[in-house]
Amino acid sequence: MVRAYYYKEDDEPMTNLHDSGENVSIQELENIGIFYKSINSLENVDKIAIDRNYKNRDYITLDSKTFPGGEESLNNKLNIFFTEHLHEDEEIRYIIDGNGFFDVRNNNDKWIRILVEKNDLLILPAGIYHRFTLTNNKFVKALRLFKDEPKWIALNRIDGNTESNKYRKEYISSII
Ligand code: KMT
Ligand code: NI
């Protein structure tokens, strides 16, 4: 993690920095249930996967040069990732190459932007509102880990029923 900081709302593209200049510490991220660690080898990621019982995994590459259907199709994919959502399981990502932004809502509903890069392991708790995009480099390769079967379902906040979700409620009570 190069940095985490409060996201500056403006009309610039999502892949720009949106840097408010106000940094967020690892402790503040921990307070909202986020786990972050820089890990220098896949063997050490495997150890954490065993410790935390992550049984499944896959790789994802998002690359404007190779994405099927070209850059427009990648942008469509990014627009889906950038729609504010939650999951009923942790979102666990280990960055192998490239970089990207995870935006997470803090307990005051403010966006925090986390710049992830090679060797970063980021674990978002179930129930936290978040979104993802690339940087202007438009390239990331990441390992996605899952406890059981991949739970792909993104529950979008805009749909209006996420506040009554069991995992959302559990998350909220875990951070207070
Ligand atoms: C997600 O769920 O947002 C993704 O898998 C995005 C790419 S992982 C760096
Ligand atoms: Ni997600």
Q: Output the CA torsion sign for 30, 53, 150, 169.
A: negative
Q: Which residues surround ligand 2, an ion (CB under 5 A)?
A: 91
Residue count of the chain, please give it. 176
Ligand 1 touching residue 132 (CB < 6 A):
yes
Tell me the CATH number at 87. Answer: 2.60.120.10
pLDDT of 14 > 70? The answer is yes
The token pair that represents 38 in the structure block: 């820089």
pLDDT at 91: 94
Query: What is the secondary structure of 95-123 as a DSSP string?
Result: EEEEEEEEEEE-TTS-EEEEEEETTEEEE
Question: Is 18 labelled a binding residue?
Answer: no
Question: Is 85 labelled a binding residue?
Answer: yes
User: With bands split at pLDDT 50, 70 and 90, how would you rate the model's confidence at 93?
Assistant: very high
- What is the longest distance spanned by two Cα atoms in the chain? 44
Ligand 1 atom closest to the CA of 62, numbered from 1:
7
Q: Which amino acid is at 38?
A: S
User: With bands split at pLDDT 50, 70 and 90, how would you rate the model's confidence at 148?
Assistant: confident
In this structure, are residues 73 and 83 in contact, taking their beta carbons and an 8 Å threshold?
Answer: no
Domain range for 90: 3-175
- If one residue of 93, 118, 156 were mutated to test the ligand 1 pocket, choosing by the most ligand atoms within 8 A of its CB, it would be 93
- The domain tally of the chain equals 1
CA distance 86 to 99: 21
pTM, 2 dp:
0.96
Ligand 1: residue whose CA is nearest its atom 6: 132
Ligand number with the minimum distance to the CA of 97:
1
Which of 93, 96, 95 lies closest to 104 in space, CA to CA? 93
